[in-house]
Structure 1
Amino acid sequence: MRNISFLLIMTMVLIGTTWSCKSRNKVDNKKIELKTKVDSASYAFGVQIGANFAQQGLDTVMNMNLVLEGIRAQIAKTAIIDVNQTDKIINEFFSEMQKAQSAGKLEEGEKFLAENGKREGVTTTASGLQYEVIKMGNGEKPNASSTVKVHYRGTLLDGKEFDSSYARKEPISFPLSGVIKGWTEGLQYMPVGSHFKFYIPWNLAYGERGAGGLIGPYETLIFEVELLSIEK
């Protein structure tokens, strides 16, 4: 525990020094010298903390000066918030932040689909699914109980790719009864040999919970799908 506390203090000093600069982008790394293993471990610990904050988008949300002050104050036993209250405060904050983000995603998706549906070549179905034909095949169409083989690429509205069979260089087979509603419906419009683009609203995708770290709640998703074959 003594070693961990020492590393934590060293890390916070390094981060605090960095954050106190007027711009994080102007930090001169040449001024930082890692002379010992403690220095290197301390700096590495700070890098991990920074990476975690950035990955979760907290670097632009949190008041980093108060984050650092909270660490120093707790170590010095001068914190103005009891450590037993921190979980409740943090959970409430993240809950409110998630609600705000979800509302933003919902609005963003609705606006996108409203405009996208006006484009020539885009068909909007009764469920709200939108699709665009890139290439129309001439094979058989699957039904809701079919098992199909496809190549696909999935992206968010900002273009960020979250999954791709192309990247894995291997198509995938699955029953249409076991995928998101947008896929179950959309694949039934595709004759074998077709290449479609689907624009799937949140309620036909992963809903209010999302899926994993990349697909958040209320996300509208875009898929390019090639129907290679119907297996059964």
Structure 2
Amino acid sequence: MKKTIIASACVAMLAACSQQATVKPEGVKLDNEKSKLSYAIGMDIGASLKSLATEFDRPAMMAAINDKLDGKKLMLSNEEAGKVKKAFFQQQSAKRVAERKELAEKNKAAGEKFLAENAKKPGVTVTASGLQYEVLKAGDGAKPKESDYVKVNYRGTLLDGTEFDSSYKRGKPITFPLKGVIKGWTEGVQLMNVGSKYKFYIPADLAYGEQGAGSTIAPNSTLIFEIELLGIENPDNSAK
């Protein structure tokens, strides 16, 4: 519905523009609701076009808009226009895939280099899976099982120090099923006693792998987590 309304408004706005083609951009005044609405919709259109990350031939674009609005014969048939757009979006898709692959390879190499050096540091333990950790604070409570729910405080960062998540900042610990998180967490937290605090260095294949997560965690990112195990809290409310 929103897209339909915007599209209709765009037609109205562009029709007005075609009737006032002699008005220069610097002469535009936003002195009434119509002009403000037109400019606001133009902002949306501009943002959408900019998101395509390519250069446009503005005269050709405006010519097509005016020809369409004025009912003139178009320079491209719908079939020809469709082929041009399809080819463009295929190129854009291939470009994004290539860029993502390049980034994944770069992150994988950076992660492997970091972990190789980090493994040599005093106090760092490496497990059979490649997970690395160091004990920041020892605890004397129980150790959770994979089937348990655990209550933790944590802070997650990338190799460059960028913090992407933190329960400390939110001011509230979280409780979750241990088998419902990334492999590095599932393995690592089971090593901890309640009351302890560990720092984990998690290889990409034990984190989010080539898929990544959202816009912050890129493909093949090695992640660093400081985790404080506060308790074991299962659904039956029997806290440990």
* TM-score using structure 1 length: 0.73
Closer, same or farther: CA 34–4 of 1 in aligned 2, 3 Å: closer
| Corresponding residue SS for 1:152 | strand
Q: Which runs of 5+ in 2 are unaligned?
A: 1-9, 18-25, 31-35, 65-74, 235-240
Report the CA distance shift for 1:125/1:73 in structure 2 as closer, same or farther (over 3 A): farther
Alpha-carbon displacement from aligned partner over 1:117-141 (angstroms, at most 9, x marks no partner): 1111111111100111111111111
Following superposition, the deviation at residue 83 of structure 1 comes to 2.1
Q: Which residue among 130, 136, 157 is the counterpart of 1:155? A: 157
Structure 1 residues 4 and 40 mapped into 2: Cα distance closer, same or farther (>3 Å)? Answer: closer
Per-residue deviation at 1:2? 3.0
Q: What is the aligned partner in structure 2 of residue 169 from structure 1?
A: 171
d(CA) in 2 for partners of 1:171 and 1:39?
A: 47
The equivalent position to 2:220 in structure 1, one of 211, 218, 221, is 218
Q: 1:206 to 1:39 in 2, by over 3 A?
A: same
Contact residue 13 and residue 38 of structure 2 kept, 8 A: no
Q: What value does the CA root-mean-square deviation take over the aligned residues?
A: 3.2
Task: Tell me which of 115, 133, 140 is aligned to 1:131.
Answer: 133
* Alignment correspondent of 1:190: 192
Q: Which letter does structure 1 place at the counterpart of 2:150?
A: V
Aligned amino acid, residue 124 of structure 1? V
Residue deviations 1:45-84 (CA, integer Å, cap 9, x gap): 588569x86xxxx9xxx6xxxx333455444458999223
Deviation track 1:65-105 (CA, whole Å, cap 9, x = no partner) reads xx333455444458999223211111111111111111111
Could you give the per-residue CA deviations for residues 210-231 of structure 1, whole angstroms, max 9, x where no partner exists? 1222222211111110000112
Identity of aligned residues (%): 49
Aligned residue pairs, count: 199
**Which of 45, 68, 73 does residue 55 from structure 2 map onto?**
68
- Bigger Cα displacement from structure 2, 102-111 vs 83-92: 83-92
Between stretches 170-179 and 72-81, larger displacement belongs to 72-81
Q: Give the Cα separation in 2 of the matches to 1:183 and 1:168.
A: 20
Map residues 90-169 of structure 1 onto 2, 5 A cutoff.
90-169=92-171
